[in-house]
Amino acid sequence: MDPHPRDPPSFARRRFLIHTGALSTGLAAEAAWSARTAVEPVRGESAVRELPVRLRVNGVVHELRLDPRVTLLDALRERLALTGTKKGCGHGQCGACTVLVNGRRINSCLALAVAHEGDEVTTIEGLAAGGELHPVQAAFVERDAFQCGYCTPGQIVSCVAMLDEARRGMPSAATADVTREGALPLDEAEIRERMSGNLCRCGAYVNIVAAARDVARRA
């Protein structure tokens, strides 16, 4: 149906040709740009040179060559086959990728591998010793503190760091007396606050807290 029924036929044809020509020109320009950028690098962009990186992970030194943009998480999973550390959100929000660096917990998805050369990195695979589970690992099994298990490695590593932080007297937002010296007691409120950076989509929080309290009491 003619969108402009009142126009003379010559005007309608002219408008059609103008619109068709503009569309064809735009498509041709886009195709030309796509073809050119497919074979030509963007101005100012060059190939990224890999750098030699020495990572000490779970007591073993690894000599790698890495793109400086590679995250610690990807280096662990893709280059060292340490797949216990999970890739969850990629934005430091879920805690599935938690590892220890020099004893402190970090989100490895937000850390560049080259920035941790010389540091001591500990993953979930490095917690057990001599065939014996780490006390936190054993407590998670005893308390059935997991369901799908995807977040569990990060939960366990974070719990190990949390226990050490409380032992060294590092307060949290839930600590009533931040001036107290020495080890801090870990009640349910403290554990929930300190573990709040680790999300469990299955909702196994009750048993996770119970496992953490078991280990804290034994310690």
> pLDDT tens digit string along 170-189?
999 999 999 999 999 999 99
| Residue found under tokens 């999973």 | 77
Amino acid 48: pLDDT: 74
Domain that holds residue 195: 131-219
What CATH number does the domain containing 105 carry?
A: 3.10.20.30
Close Cβ partners of 112 (under 8 Å, ≥ 6 residues apart): 68, 69, 70, 71, 72
What pairing do the DSSP bridges indicate for beta strands 51-57 and 120-122?
Answer: parallel
Amino acid 213: pLDDT: 97
Amino acid 219: pLDDT: 82
In a domain, 40, yes or no: no
Q: % helix / strand / coil in the chain, to the nearest 5?
A: 45, 15, 45
Amino acid 214: pLDDT: 97
Q: Among 100, 126, 152, identify where a domain stops.
A: 126
Q: Supply φ then ψ for residue 143, to 5 degrees.
A: -90, 0
Split at pLDDT 50, 70, 90, the class of 38 is very low
> pLDDT tens digit string along 49-105?
899 999 999 999 999 999 999 999 999 999 999 999 999 999 999 999 999 999 999
pTM: 0.78
What integer best gives the mean pLDDT of the chain? 87
What CATH number does the domain containing 219 carry?
A: 1.10.150.120
